[in-house]
A and B are shown apart, each in its own frame.
Chain A
Amino acid sequence: MANSTPDGTIRLEVFRYSPEKTEAPWYQTYEVPFRKDWVVLDALNYIKDQSDGSLTFRWSCRMGVCGSCGMMVNGIPKLSCAAFLRDYYPNPIRVEPLANFPVLRDLVFQLDSFIEKLKSVQPWIVRKQEKPVSEGEYLQSPAEHARYKDFSMCINCMLCYAACPVVGLEPEFLGPAAIALAQRYNFDSRDQGRSLRQEVVASHDGIWQCTFVGECSAVCPKHVDPAGAIQQAKVASTVDWFKEVLWPWGAAR
C-alpha cells in the first residue's frame, strides 16, 4: 500500500448484501483516508483491514492484469485497481458489484454464466487433425499474428458484460468478451475451428442480439474492442449466408 500521508478523507458508499442477514441489499458508507496515489481497491482494502472485516470483494494482482477486481464505480464498470480516488475527490464514490450479474455477497457476483458462455465458443486452437509433436510447431508470420493480437488481450474481467444493456435485458446473450475471443481464434492462422464456433456465435443468442451500443469497447481496460469483433462477425456471417444461398457449391467449409 502507498506510503503517502493522507490528505483529508473521502466517502465510499458501498453496496452490501448478506444473504443470511437480509433479503435486500443496502448501501454502507465508509470514510477512508484520501491519498492521491490510492485507487478504489486500496480504499476497500483499508476498510477491510481497519474498520469492517466483513466487507467482501474479489481482487488479486492490483495491476490491471488479473481481471478480478471489476466493479461499478459511480455507475461505470471499472477495474477498481485502476480507478483513482483523486479522479472523484472530494465527491463520494459509489461502489457496486458489476451490473448484469447476480450478486452473491457484497461486491462478489456470480460469474458462472460468463464461464459457460466462454467455454461454449471453444476459445482454444481447434485442429481438424493434430500433427505430431515431432513435426514441430505451427508457424505464424508477424502479419498473421497482428490479425488477432488485439482480441487476445482480453483478461476476462467482464466489464464489457456490465456495460452491455443487451446482456441486462437478454441474459442468454453470448456477450462481448466471448464473441471477441471466438474471433481471436477464428482469425488465428493456426486454427480450423470457425465452423464449430459459428454454431454458437451465429445462433439466436449470438451476434444478432447485439444492437451495437458500443459501450463494451468504451469500458474495456485492454482496448480489445469487442464491439468491433461482433460487427466483423456479423459481416462474415452475412457473407456465409450469401455464399450458401447464391453460391451453393462455394459454401463448402
Chain B
Amino acid sequence: MGSGTMKPYVRPMPATWWLQRGPYVFFMLRELTSVFVAAYLVLFLVMIDRLHQGPAAYQSFLEMLKSPLAIVFHVVALAFALFHTFTWFNLTPKALVIRTGEKRVPPAAIIAPNYLAWIVISVIIGWIVVKG
C-alpha cells in the first residue's frame, strides 16, 4: 500500500469514552467496585488493630462505626461488593469451559456452584459470628 500518499485521520479518544455507551459505564462501575472492596478491607484491618490495642480502643472504634458517615459507607460498600460478586460470578462461564464430548456444559451449571459455595461459606461465617 502506498501509505506515503495517504493522510490517515486518527480520531481522538476522549477521556469520557466510558460515558458514551451503557455497557462501558457498567464496566467502569464493575472496576470501581474494587475500590470499595479494598476500602472495606482496610477498615477491617484497622478494626483488628484496635482489638489488639485493648478493650477501650476497640469500644471507641465501635462507637465510630455508629456515625452516619460510617453507616453510609457500609451500605455503599455492601452494594458495590454485591455488584462485584454477581457480575464476576456470572462471567465465570467465559473463562471456564467444560465439555462432555461434542457438547458444552451449560453456562448456568458453571455459575451455580459459585453461588452455592458463597451461600455455604456465608452460613458458616454467620454461624461462627452468632455462636461466637
Contact = CB atoms under 8 A, between A and B. Distances in A.
Interface string B1-40: 1010011111101000110110110010001000000000
A128 B94 CA distance: 30
Interface stretch (A37-45, A153-161, A209-217, A244-252): A209-217
Given A102-B10, A213-B23, A235-B95, 10 more contacts: A76-B21, A104-B6, A146-B101, A165-B13, A212-B94, A213-B27, A218-B23, A231-B94, A231-B95, A232-B95
Given A165-B17, A215-B23, A142 B97 contact: no
A242 to B, nearest CB: 16
B102 A146 contact: yes
Contact of B94 (A76, A142, A228): A228
B24 A213 contact: yes
Contacts of A100: 13
Contacts of B131: none
A103 B9 contact: yes
Most buried by B among A19, A103, A165: A165
Interface in A44-99: 75-76, 99
Contact of A232 (B3, B6, B97, B104): B97
Nearest to A109: B8
B120 interface: no
Nearest to A228: B94
Contacts of B45: none
A234 interface: yes
A100 B10 CA distance: 8
B91 A143 contact: no
B99 A146 contact: yes
Question: Number of contact residues on B: which range applies?
Answer: 20 to 34
Contact of A103 (B11, B18, B93): B11
A135 interface: no
Contacts of B103: 146
Nearest to B21: A75
A143 B98 CA distance: 12
Interface in A155-174: 165, 168-169
Contacts of A231: 91, 94-95
B102 A17 contact: no
Contacts of B94: 212, 214, 217, 225, 227-228, 231-232
29 contacts: A19-B6, A19-B7, A25-B11, A75-B20, A100-B13, A103-B10, A103-B11, A104-B6, A110-B3, A112-B1, A142-B102, A143-B99, A146-B102, A165-B17, A165-B24, A168-B17, A169-B13, A212-B91, A214-B27, A214-B94, A215-B23, A215-B24, A228-B95, A231-B91, A231-B94, A232-B96, A232-B97, A235-B95, A235-B96
A243 interface: no
Interface string A133-153: 000000000110111000000
